[in-house]
């Protein structure tokens, strides 16, 4: 197990230990150079924790075995996986079930299968499915459901609604498409956007806040905060305006830009004390 210092220079650790098998999120994989001599010993990559992007597959698949895997903690880890290559017909497929059974069911109810080709929720059955959430009957009842009516009555097992959405590919494999609720996954961590919004509106001077996910060109995601500041923030700027209308406009631009940058740093510092680092927005928009 690499130390904290070794994790800060993962490429050197992989090279020094001659690592052949790695399990990493796509976010971490993007910090490594697939073509570096440091990666020469790597033979198998297991990508997990978040949706894999096409660039990552194309970078790594030619030189090693690249496996995309899916599996929430409630089903004891990986339950669906797919080996990908640079020429895979479905390069973002999470694959087919292993050591379990899995279906894509209606977004409205697990008692109904989703039509082939449409987006539905992943339902997992098998011995690896947990029994319950400790001391949380409501969440247990919503997530661990009885045998669906479309399965044989003799089939007794445990069934888990993952909350993740997917669709079937032409070869019967699945492609992950997102979450059915307000949860998102950034940097391999799953959380509610509402948690970030609630932290932002606790900051003095922030009137409203909306947090959303913006896709990047490399198929990654950026956590973006859109905030509205109290009118007093703008009134404070207006008090210092002098001169002609043209000069005033210039002063507004300069002073507002400076004030907003300073204010955003203050807001970010405040929410950093309330939230883990992966829940801190990386892009900010003031409206």
pLDDT digits (tens, 9 = 90+) for 239-255: 444 455 445 444 444 45
Q: What fold characterizes domain 190-286? A: GMP Synthetase; Chain A, domain 3 (3.30.300)
Helix intervals (H) in 10-118: 10-16, 26-29, 54-60
Residues in the chain: 287
CA angle 33, 37, 43 (to 5 degrees): 80
Q: Token digits for 252?
A: 């507004």
What are the boundaries of each domain within the chain?
A: 4-181, 190-286
Sign of CA dihedral 178, 181, 182, 188: negative
pLDDT reading at 27 higher than 90: no
Structure confidence at residue 70 (pLDDT): 96
Confidence of residue 192 (pLDDT cuts 50, 70, 90): confident
Eight-state DSSP code of residue 216 = -
Q: Are the beta carbons of 110 and 159 closer than 8 angstroms?
A: yes
Report the alpha-carbon distance of residue 68 to residue 80 in Å, rounded: 9
CA angle 236-240-246, nearest 5°?
Answer: 120
Do 190-286 and 4-181 have the same topology in CATH?
no
Distance CA 223, CA 185 (A): 10
Record the pTM. Answer: 0.68
Structural fold of domain 4-181: Rossmann fold (3.40.50)
Three-state DSSP at 261 gives helix
Confidence of residue 256 (pLDDT cuts 50, 70, 90): low
pLDDT given for residue 164 in this prediction: 93
pLDDT > 70? residue 28: yes
C-alpha span between 51 and 59 (Å, rounded): 16
């Amino acid at each position: 197990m690499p130390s904290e210092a070794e994790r800060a220079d993962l490429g050197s650790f992989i090279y020094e230990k001659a690592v052949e098998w790695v399990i990493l999120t796509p976010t971490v994989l993007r910090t490594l150079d697939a073509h570096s001599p440091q990666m020469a010993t790597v033979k198998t990559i297991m990508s997990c924790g978040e949706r894999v992007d096409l660039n990552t597959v194309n970078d790594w698949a030619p030189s090693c075995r690249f496996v995309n895997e899916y599996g929430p903690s409630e089903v004891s880890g990986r339950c669906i996986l797919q080996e990908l290559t640079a020429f895979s017909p479905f390069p973002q497929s999470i694959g087919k079930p292993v050591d379990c059974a899995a279906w894509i069911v209606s977004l409205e109810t697990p008692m109904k299968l989703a039509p082939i080709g449409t987006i539905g929720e992943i339902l997992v059955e098998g011995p690896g499915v947990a029994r319950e959430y400790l001391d949380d009957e409501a969440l247990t009842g919503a997530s661990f459901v009885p045998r669906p009516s479309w399965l044989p009555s003799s089939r007794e097992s445990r069934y888990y609604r993952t909350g993740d959405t997917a669709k079937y590919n032409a070869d019967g494999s699945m492609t992950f498409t997102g979450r059915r609720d307000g949860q998102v996954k950034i940097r391999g961590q799953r959380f509610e956007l509402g948690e970030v919004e609630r932290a932002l509106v606790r900051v003095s001077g922030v009137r409203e806040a909306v947090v959303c996910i913006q896709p990047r060109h490399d198929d990654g995601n950026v956590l973006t905060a859109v905030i509205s500041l109290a009118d007093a923030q703008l009134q404070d700027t207006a008090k210092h305006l002098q001169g002609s209308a043209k000069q005033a406009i210039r002063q507004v631009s300069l002073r507002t830009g400076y004030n907003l940058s300073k204010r955003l740093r203050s807001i970010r510092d405040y929410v950093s004390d309330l939230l883990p680092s992966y829940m801190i927005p990386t892009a900010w928009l003031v409206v």
